[in-house]
Amino acid sequence: MSKTLIRGARVLGGAPQEVLIENGVVTALGTVAEAGGATVIEAAGRILLPGLVDLHTHLREPGREDSETVRTGTRAAARGGYTAVHAMANTFPVADTAGVVEQVWRLGREAGYCDVQPVGAVTVGLEGKQLAELGAMHDSAAGVTVFSDDGKCVDDAVIMRRALEYVKAFDGVIAQHAQEPRLTEGAQMNEGTVSAELGLAGWPAVAEESVIARDVLLAAHVGSRVHICHLSTAGSVEIVRWAKSRGMPVTAEVTPHHLLLTDELVRSYDPVYKVNPPLRTEADVRALREALADGTIDVVATDHAPHPQEDKDCEWAAAAMGMLGLETALSVVQHAMVDTGLLDWAGVAERMSFRPARIGRLTGQGRPVAVGEPANLVLWDPDHRAPVEPAGFASRSRNTPYRGRELPGRVTHTLLRGRATVADGALTDAPADTPADGARA
Ligand code: DOR
Ligand code: ZN
């Protein structure tokens, strides 16, 4: 029997408590009388959070193993405090069949660092023309409930309507990359004063907002759930706020980078800042932070998008879009939301664990820190300060926009069903004893 005692951690930022874990389950909380034989983790000064759950991770396998693999990506996730990630479907081949989603799911279990919940494509080949086999992916061992053509927008209204109708039967959700394709053809960055000065083709806010407006109306019409990926503008916030005030079935996510960075950074022409949707303005950042605090935006999702050096070390126009997120997400959220007084740690747990698990309908993840619950936990040292050093990342890629920037906090331990995937800040290397119960156990 494995036994671990965590001593002195502030559970969800509250009072220090002791937490006893036996055989992967929390068995005592508060003051633990009897813990003979337990491995003790001294955690005074640290915050204990539920294991983080990411709704939006690009693991790149199959097909782009030069960027990331399921193993390297889930090691990065564990270092970031995640115990479950949703793996996006824009792989090669695309995850649009039961076979591919099962393969990704199985690779996640074999790696053993973090539960991998595959996202299925909405349309065959992400082409936007023909619905993929959503039911077969749902019925597969991977048990897919989240579907997305992320990277591309499901722009045909009829296809979007059919997808919403189809997943309604099993309480699935369509995660939309809201981006009107014609309005964003050739776009290089946010459309605004900076793009005008730099002479780069702009990506107007209306391209995102018009699709969100259509899709909340469609979701309400069908009575089926839509989730808005990486919402990035103040106008998008207003539309989601309105839709929620009318009881429409919409949820939304924001990335860490959209909570912190702006299009001013593009003046450097450093492609590390090239991302889709693009970095927006200071006013957008402010609106996104407020919306995350007031619940208009439900969750933080990383959009972890690894790219190899040769796809980023080139001129701006030719560079790939996307940035790493898993290993810095909680630091950025502490900096942007907690240290600014906008959120407390319980609020962070809601937005980075409980709610994403609920949206993805994961049952064994995003659970309260309570007796009888699986011990998916992260210990966070909020007082740690260090410049971001990508050389130490577990990801196979290095495209972080935070290189050299001082960010707060550090994961000291991540526990997946009681087993340390990260201990004393370092990945453990023999996690192969993953029990039979996966993400949806
Ligand atoms: O910047 C992005 N990169 N946005 C997306 O939607 C896709 C992602 C990727 O796959 O690289
Ligand atoms: Zn996207």
In tens, the pLDDT along 62-84 reads 999 999 999 999 999 999 999 99
**129 touches 162 (CB < 8 A):** no
Q: Whose CA is nearest to atom 6 of ligand 1?
A: 151
> Which is nearest to 117 in space by CA: 164, 42, 59, 75?
59
Ligand 1 atom having least distance to the Cα of 321: 1
Q: Which ligand is nearest to the CA of 253?
A: 2
55-to-159, 353, 422 alpha-carbon distances in Å: 23, 10, 21
Q: Whose CA is nearest to atom 2 of ligand 1?
A: 322
Residue 437 has pLDDT above 80, yes or no: no
The SS3 call for residue 128 is coil
| Token pair of 154 as six digits | 């499901």
Q: State the number of CA atoms in the 13 A half-sphere of 229 facing the CB.
A: 29
Cis upstream peptide for 277 (omega within 30°) = yes
Q: What share of the chain is helix, strand, coil (3-state, %, to 5)?
A: 35, 25, 45
Amino acid letter for position 46: R
Q: Per DSSP, what are the bridge partners of residue 53?
A: 84
Longest dimension (CA), the chain: 68
| Ligand 1 centroid from CA 159, angstroms | 22
What integer pLDDT is reported at residue 1 of this predicted model?
74
Residue 360 has pLDDT above 80, yes or no: yes
What integer pLDDT is reported at residue 430 of this predicted model?
61
Say which range, 21-35, 245-259, 284-298, has the weakest mean pLDDT.
21-35
Alpha-carbon span 118 to 159, nearest angstrom: 21
Task: For 3-42, write each residue's pLDDT tens digit.
Answer: 999 999 999 999 999 999 999 999 999 988 777 899 999 9
303 is catalytic: yes
The SS3 call for residue 185 is coil
Q: Which residue has the tokens 């200071």?
A: 282
| Token pair of 399 as six digits | 């495209």
First to last CA, the chain: 20
Domains in the chain, ordered, with CATH?
Answer: 3-47+372-427 (2.30.40.10), 51-359 (3.20.20.140)
Task: For 134-192, write each residue's pLDDT tens digit.
Answer: 999 999 999 999 999 999 999 999 999 999 999 999 999 999 999 999 999 999 999 99
Residue 130 has pLDDT above 70, yes or no: yes
- State pTM to two decimals: 0.97
Using a pLDDT cut of 90, give the percent of the chain over it. 95
Q: Which residue has the tokens 């695309």?
A: 94
Catalytic residue among 54, 149, 298, 303: 303
Give the residue-averaged pLDDT of 104-124. 98
What integer pLDDT is reported at residue 35 of this predicted model?
79
> Which is nearest to 129 in space by CA: 103, 163, 101, 95?
163
Using a pLDDT cut of 70, give the percent of the chain over it. 97
| Ligand 2 centroid from CA 377, angstroms | 28
Residue 440 has pLDDT above 80, yes or no: no
| Ligand 2 centroid from CA 90, angstroms | 10
Q: What is the mean pLDDT of the chain?
A: 96
